[in-house]
Chain A
Amino acid sequence: MKFLEPILLACWLMGIIMIQFHERTNILLKKRDHLGLLPNFHLFSPKPFKGTYLIRYKVMHHNLGTPIIHREQLSYWGKSGLIDANQKIIKCINNLCKSTINRPDQSNMNFALLLNFIKNDAKTKIGIGKGEIQFFILIAYNGEESLKFNSRVYDL
């Protein structure tokens, strides 16, 4: 049994080293790493984003007839204390902003997280239980704003 320990640990360490430097191993192992036992230390060198993301969303409540427009700024989201959840949201926004405007919405996990965050924000701030929501992502840099993404209309 004593020989088993060095073999197991050596294989594990080899996996950790491979995941850092070999792209194919990274893709292969990352899918199977449910417990975070093969960390990618690239995360230790984060790249900052220049400018500010602006998320503006429009909530449409049919009873009132006119849509209520509400603005929210992403940089304030740090207050929730969920730093890493916000990083996932920013990652999603980065992906969305890379593409051209009006592309089909991504149905991935991070997008669902972003949409959920915006829906929750709208429910808290506007206090409407039912209605429709559409959001826009803009980048503000040096006093100029540019539209990067507009979503479909979703049920609130």
Chain B
Amino acid sequence: MIYNYFTYPPHIIKFLEIFLSLSLLLSSLQHLKNIHCFSPQGLLPWDLLKRKNIYVWFRSERFKCFFGKRSMLLLNIIRILLLPLYILSEKEEFHFPTLVILTLITYMIYIRSSLMSNAADQVNNIILTGLVISQSLTGYTSDKIIIYFFALLLIVSYFTSGLLKAHEANWRNGVYLKQVLITRNFGNPILLKSLNQVNLKVFKLLSQIIVIWQLSSFLTPILPTAILYCYLFVALSFHLATGLLMRLNGFIWTFTGLLPTLIYLHVNISNFL
């Protein structure tokens, strides 16, 4: 049933839009929670950030008003208000302008808070930009190529990560996985003590499952359907685990939203073969 549901492009795009919106909502709520950091006395004042080379375009004083604490507050509130409008609007003449405004606001928030951002925020930007390109050139309903693009992006991200882990002996034997999960920077403080007591063999097994799962990502288009389901189940469990254990909450929504694109790619490759 799920397989058949995701053979239809608008279903995949709608699913992706809902999960993307949830990820953006979470990101905005985190910014609002830490809004004090964006004031001149905070940890991330604009005067400090604009020293970075990539902000060369925004060094002029006239841009200051766009990146202060108040504008950050305003941008995040507007983004939160736009999200239900974006998901619920069905008509193309209303849906597309909302998407463009949402993308521009997300760019501005990203520029201002890039030090707080992670790969999930970058993938959110890619999804929004991809949707703008696709919907401006081919319209809302005929999104086929963009789905292939998202599926390939997901495969590249998993494969690259798996390849790096496979190269490191300490990732293969589980040492790095355990150490990452018990550091205060990546780990969850509530689970630190209990994870520290878990045998290294468990982490070795988990680490090897993760490496094999990530490396096998490029096989997903040609896997038998039953194994594809197993692959997607591991992917979902992996993102839930990173969200809960490593507090990377955005990853759950962004990457889960992209998983149906793998089903679509699988369906079309199977039909072709």
A interface residues (Cβ-Cβ under 8 A, vs B) = 1-2, 4-6, 8-9, 12-13, 16-17, 20-21, 31, 33-37, 39, 41-50, 75-76, 78, 80-88, 90, 109, 112-113, 116-117, 120
Contacts of A35 in B (CB 8 A): 107, 110-111, 125, 129
Assign chain B's interface to a size class: 35 or more
Other-chain contact of B138, A2, A39, A46 (Cβ < 8 Å):
A2
Other-chain contact of B137, A1, A48, A80, A88 (Cβ < 8 Å):
A1
In the complex, B156 has a CB within 8 A of chain A:
yes
Given contacts A1-B138, A9-B133, A37-B126, contact A48 B176 (CB under 8 A): yes
List 17 interface pairs A-B (beta carbons < 8 Å), by A numbering: A5-B137, A5-B146, A13-B153, A13-B156, A33-B54, A36-B114, A36-B126, A37-B129, A41-B156, A45-B164, A49-B183, A75-B183, A82-B44, A85-B116, A87-B185, A113-B44, A113-B115
Contacts of A39 in B (CB 8 A): 119, 122-123, 126, 157
- Against A, the Cβ 8 Å flags (1 = close, 0 = not) of B36-71 are 010001111100110111110100000000000000
Given contacts A41-B119, A45-B165, contact A120 B176 (CB under 8 A): no
CB distance from B21 to the nearest CB of A (A): 18
Contact between chains at B122 and A36 (CB < 8 Å): yes
CB distance from A79 to the nearest CB of B (A): 8
Contact between chains at B183 and A43 (CB < 8 Å): no
In the complex, B86 has a CB within 8 A of chain A:
no
Nearest opposing residue in chain B for A43, CB measure = B119
- Against A, the Cβ 8 Å flags (1 = close, 0 = not) of B138-163 are 10000001100100110011001100
Contact between chains at B122 and A117 (CB < 8 Å): no
Contact between chains at B160 and A20 (CB < 8 Å): yes
Contact between chains at B183 and A48 (CB < 8 Å): yes
B interface residues (Cβ-Cβ under 8 A, vs A) = 30, 33-34, 37, 41-45, 48-49, 51-55, 57, 107, 110-111, 114-119, 121-123, 125-126, 129-130, 133-134, 137-138, 145-146, 149, 152-153, 156-157, 160-161, 164-165, 168, 171, 176, 179-180, 183-186, 189, 247
Cα separation A97 to B176 with both chains bound (whole Å): 21
Other-chain contact of A45, B116, B134, B171 (Cβ < 8 Å):
B171
Contact between chains at A76 and B160 (CB < 8 Å): no
Contact between chains at B119 and A80 (CB < 8 Å): no
Nearest opposing residue in chain A for B248, CB measure = A83
Contacts of B54 in A (CB 8 A): 31, 33-34
Contacts of B44 in A (CB 8 A): 82, 85, 113
Contact between chains at A5 and B119 (CB < 8 Å): no
| Top 4 closest pairs, chain A to chain B, by CB | A48-B179, A44-B161, A36-B122, A39-B122
Other-chain contact of A37, B41, B119, B125 (Cβ < 8 Å):
B125
Highest count of chain A CB atoms <10 Å: which of B34, B107, B153: B153
Given contacts A1-B137, A80-B34, A85-B116, contact A46 B164 (CB under 8 A): no
Cα separation A13 to B161 with both chains bound (whole Å): 16
Nearest opposing residue in chain B for A34, CB measure = B54
Contacts of B55 in A (CB 8 A): 34
Contacts of B164 in A (CB 8 A): 42, 44-45
Given contacts A5-B145, A6-B145, contact A82 B160 (CB under 8 A): no
Contacts of A37 in B (CB 8 A): 122, 125-126, 129
Contacts A39-B126, A49-B183 known; 10 new A-B pairs at CB < 8 A = A4-B137, A34-B55, A36-B110, A41-B157, A44-B119, A75-B183, A76-B184, A81-B33, A82-B34, A85-B44
Contact between chains at A112 and B51 (CB < 8 Å): yes
Contact between chains at A41 and B161 (CB < 8 Å): yes
Contact between chains at A5 and B122 (CB < 8 Å): no
Contact between chains at A84 and B156 (CB < 8 Å): no
Contacts of A87 in B (CB 8 A): 185
CB distance from B149 to the nearest CB of A (A): 4
Contacts of A113 in B (CB 8 A): 43-44, 48, 115
